[in-house]
Amino acid sequence: TTNELVIRVQPDEAIFLKINNKVPGLGMRLDRSDLNLLYKARYPIEIPDAYERLILDAIEGERRLFIRSDELDAAWALFTPLLKELEEKKIAPELYPYGSRGPVGAHYLAAKHGVRWGDLIDEYS
């Protein structure tokens, strides 16, 4: 199996890491190790909402989390042709159910490149 890093932003912030390790000794046996960091369990304090932090940074004049006008211009220069092509060719996004692992096409794309799109939703809910 593949190593996996899952970063869950909402509803409960968490980071999960599944990694394959060589079992100590002369053999070549692998064992899977899990690292789970559930913020609510690890830090018994109220974690500010993402927008609370963002608004506070704006009030304090913290610029590192905000995009500059030259960055915005570069982003538009990059994405405008892509958006135009999507519109001209009428390419629709592939819809998928809320809470699922994403569109079915993602599984095929991953398989095409030899990667297994793991089913972690039940394991880390």
Question: Any idea where the domains of the chain sit in the sequence?
Answer: 1-66
Give pLDDT, residue 72: 94
pLDDT tens by residue, 2-23: 788 888 877 778 888 888 888 8
Residue 28 has pLDDT above 60, yes or no: yes
pLDDT tens by residue, 49-93: 778 888 888 899 988 888 889 999 999 999 999 999 999 999 888
Alpha helices in 1-125 (DSSP H): 39-42, 50-59, 69-88, 104-112
pTM: 0.41
Tell me the C-alpha distance between 101 and 64, whole Å: 32
Give pLDDT, residue 105: 87
Phi then psi dihedrals of residue 60, to 5 deg: -80, -5
What average pLDDT is seen over the chain? 84
Phi then psi dihedrals of residue 24, to 5 deg: -55, 145
Give pLDDT, residue 49: 76
